[in-house]
Amino acid sequence: MSGVSRFRTAVRGAASGLGAAAAALAAGDLAAAFTGPGSAPVLAVGSAAIDLTPTPLKDWAVRHFGTQDKTVLLAGIYATMVVLAVLAGLLALRSLRAGVAVFALFAGLGLWAASSRDAALLPSVVAGLAGAALLTVLIRAGRPSAPDGATTTVPGTGHGMGDRTGPGAGESGGESAGHGADPGPERGARRDLGRRGFLVALAATAVGVAVVETAARALTAARYDVARARAALRLPAPVRPLPPVPASAHPVVPGLAPFVTPDSAFYRVDTALTLPQVQPSSWTLRIHGLVDHPVELSFDELLRRPLREVDYTLSCVSNEVGGPYVGTARWLGVSLADLLRETGVRRGAEQLIGRSADGMTIGTPVELVLDGRDALLAVGMNGEPLPVAHGFPCRSLVPGLFGYTSATKWLVDLELTTFAGLDPYWVRRGWDRTGLVRTASRIEVPAPFARVAPGRVTVAGTAWATHRGVAAVEVRVDDGPWHEARLATAVSPDVWRQWTWNWNAVGSGPHTLEVRATDGTGTVQPQTRHPPFPSGATGWHSTVVTVT
């Protein structure tokens, strides 16, 4: 076979593999439109990959890709699929069975991943069958058939591949030269037919994939998209509305973070590849385990309880010193402690496990939930129903604890148990069981590497020691003496506190500004730098600015 024809055959094989893989994915998506979006094979595999990723690698991914880590993961999965699909197509040229086996492997991986998250298995089966079927059709369509329809092996290819020389052989002269008995023109016609047949089959596959995928998306949106339910939801007013955040809580300094973080700018950290779509109409919250009266509440029943407003700064244990995974919102919700007391928490209940619609488990020490802090089952955020990304329709919040031990999004189940009873998701991965928020402070103004004129420079930032409160913030320049920063009004110990300090900048060149906070118990933020794992980062934030 000539180089050109070999190349064309390979392209045909690759296209067959890719076409079959696209068909597999579309068919899987269509099945998942009935069994739930998380059961679509790629998402199931991605979710399983997230669960299996060792903590150091996850840390690295979060550091390098931030909130884009999921996009990067999905891109990686698709790229791997493209490579495998091409391989399957090339294999299928030699042996259809081997190509089909690759799709069986695909399906097997999907099945394993789906079962690891208790997702439906059907989409992976459907995807595997569709892939195998389309591979068979495309590979067969690409073979030249004798007029009677039988598959021929063109003499001269000699590889027993059940293959034909491509049209390229003709172009390179072998055919038009008309070697004696070789029925050149007839073969050429058959070849053209074979090529046309293949292109028709490939085009039909592409159209079919587009139609099926479009239908799958429309169906998924119609069946699972909660945007409409969220838009239609009217939350009752709080029993005692909080006064607005006083203007004096936020120094007017350009570049300083807003005191209340807009929902659209609020950090998002979770393991959900696609946002769980939880309909309020079918939502229930089960409270069970070590309680006297297990209950199951509907969303309406939850909203009939007195609603309270709580200003609260939520932060992530994975936040680096000076990092962005922290935000403040005015939350609306139901007292979690009141609800638990009504169910009759039994002696011996040490751990409250929150379970989410997407299978997350988050464990909170019961003692902390019941010690009088404003633990909340939140349904509203900054005057609106919870955004889907932040746990619609209901999430928990327990002031003083990092999100991973307190803030279950898409919450559907609360279980009272012992610490020995269950290791929640993050504890199984080595993170601290309690997750108390560490005292943190951040310089936001001037921006890192800013150039400032000598003289008075406003230095400003934000500090938090959630639930203990911020009692003091100090700033120093180039390891000099510490200066007390001016603290803005404290709204509550459960929210961050902003601060300013006037620096008389002298000496042109680079200078290092450093900040540290003291919490409400009088403990100064430790200097020792420690990474987030396993119980939150420590160390002082610093920034370098240049005086011109």
- CA–CA distance, 386 with 388 (Å, rounded to integer): 6
For residue 334, list its beta bridge partners: 307, 377
- Closest separation in Å from C-beta 324 to ligand MTE: 11
At 103, list the tokens: 């799709």
For residue 459, list its beta bridge partners: 501
Of 58 and 305, nearer to ligand MTE (C-beta) is 58
- Closest separation in Å from C-beta 200 to ligand MTE: 47
- Closest separation in Å from C-beta 134 to ligand MTE: 36
Q: Which does 409 bind (CB under 5 to 8 A by kind): ligand MTE, Mo ion, none?
A: ligand MTE
Of 249 and 272, nearer to ligand MTE (C-beta) is 272
Which of the stretches 28-36, 99-107, 188-196, 265-273 binds Mo ion when contact is defined by CB under 5 A? 265-273
Ranges within 287-316 binding Mo ion (CB under 5 A): 316
Helices 3-35 + 96-116 axis angle, to 10? 30
SS3 424: coil
Which of the stretches 1-9, 232-240, 263-271, 372-380 binds Mo ion when contact is defined by CB under 5 A? 263-271
Q: Which does 102 bind (CB under 5 to 8 A by kind): ligand MTE, Mo ion, none?
A: none
Instruction: Give the residue at shortest CB distance from Mo ion.
Output: 316
Of 106 and 431, nearer to ligand MTE (C-beta) is 431
Q: Which does 543 bind (CB under 5 to 8 A by kind): ligand MTE, Mo ion, none?
A: none
Ranges within 311-340 binding Mo ion (CB under 5 A): 316
Q: Which does 164 bind (CB under 5 to 8 A by kind): Mo ion, ligand MTE, none?
A: none
**Taking CB under 5 A as the rule, does residue 269 contact Mo ion?**
yes
- Closest separation in Å from C-beta 276 to ligand MTE: 7
Residue found by looking up tokens 């070590």 in the block: 290
- Closest separation in Å from C-beta 405 to ligand MTE: 9
Containing H/E element for 365?
Answer: strand 361-365
Exposure string over 487-508, b if 16+ CB within 10 A, otherwise e: bbebbbbbbbbbbbbebebeee
Q: Which does 198 bind (CB under 5 to 8 A by kind): ligand MTE, Mo ion, none?
A: none
- Closest separation in Å from C-beta 361 to ligand MTE: 9
- Closest separation in Å from C-beta 264 to ligand MTE: 12
Q: Which does 70 bind (CB under 5 to 8 A by kind): ligand MTE, Mo ion, none?
A: none
- Closest separation in Å from C-beta 435 to Mo ion: 9
**Taking CB under 5 A as the rule, does residue 435 contact Mo ion?**
no
- CA–CA distance, 360 with 409 (Å, rounded to integer): 9
- A 10 A CB-CB count for 472 gives 18
Q: Which does 271 bind (CB under 5 to 8 A by kind): Mo ion, ligand MTE, none?
A: ligand MTE
Q: Which does 270 bind (CB under 5 to 8 A by kind): ligand MTE, Mo ion, none?
A: ligand MTE
Longest Cα separation, the chain: 101
Q: Which does 437 bind (CB under 5 to 8 A by kind): ligand MTE, Mo ion, none?
A: none
For residue 461, list its beta bridge partners: 443, 499
SS3 521: coil
- Closest separation in Å from C-beta 66 to Mo ion: 13
Instruction: Give the residue at shortest CB distance from ligand MTE.
Output: 403
The set of residues, in sequence order, having a beta carbon less than 8 Å from that of 522 and lying 6+ positions away, is 471
- Closest separation in Å from C-beta 208 to ligand MTE: 36
For 183, counting Cβ atoms within 10 Å of its Cβ (0-12 exposed, 13-18 middle, 19+ buried), the class is exposed
- CA–CA distance, 119 with 46 (Å, rounded to integer): 13
Of 361 and 500, nearer to Mo ion (C-beta) is 361
Question: Of 438, 543, 524, 439, which Cα lies nearest the Cα of 484?
Answer: 524
Of 230 and 438, nearer to Mo ion (C-beta) is 438
- A 10 A CB-CB count for 304 gives 12
Half-sphere exposure of 138 (CA within 13 A, CB side): 34
**Taking CB under 5 A as the rule, does residue 403 contact Mo ion?**
yes
Of 51 and 350, nearer to ligand MTE (C-beta) is 51
- CA–CA distance, 234 with 516 (Å, rounded to integer): 42
- CA–CA distance, 528 with 532 (Å, rounded to integer): 12
Q: Which does 16 bind (CB under 5 to 8 A by kind): ligand MTE, Mo ion, none?
A: none
Of 334 and 407, nearer to ligand MTE (C-beta) is 407
Of 47 and 500, nearer to ligand MTE (C-beta) is 47
Contacts 24+ apart (CB under 8 A), 49-55: 49/73, 49/77, 49/113, 50/271, 50/273, 51/116, 51/117, 51/271, 55/429, 55/430, 55/431, 55/533
For 104, counting Cβ atoms within 10 Å of its Cβ (0-12 exposed, 13-18 middle, 19+ buried), the class is middle
Footprint of ligand MTE (CB under 6 A): 266-271, 314, 316, 356, 358, 360, 390, 403-404, 407-410
- Closest separation in Å from C-beta 400 to Mo ion: 14
- DSSP string computed for 219-273: HHHHHH--HHHHHH--PPPPSSPPPPPPGGGS---TTSPPSSPPGGGS----S-S
Residue of 224, 259, 404, 540 that binds Mo ion (CB under 5 A): 404
Kindly list the residues in this chain that would bind Mo ion in the complex (CB under 5 A).
269, 316, 403-404
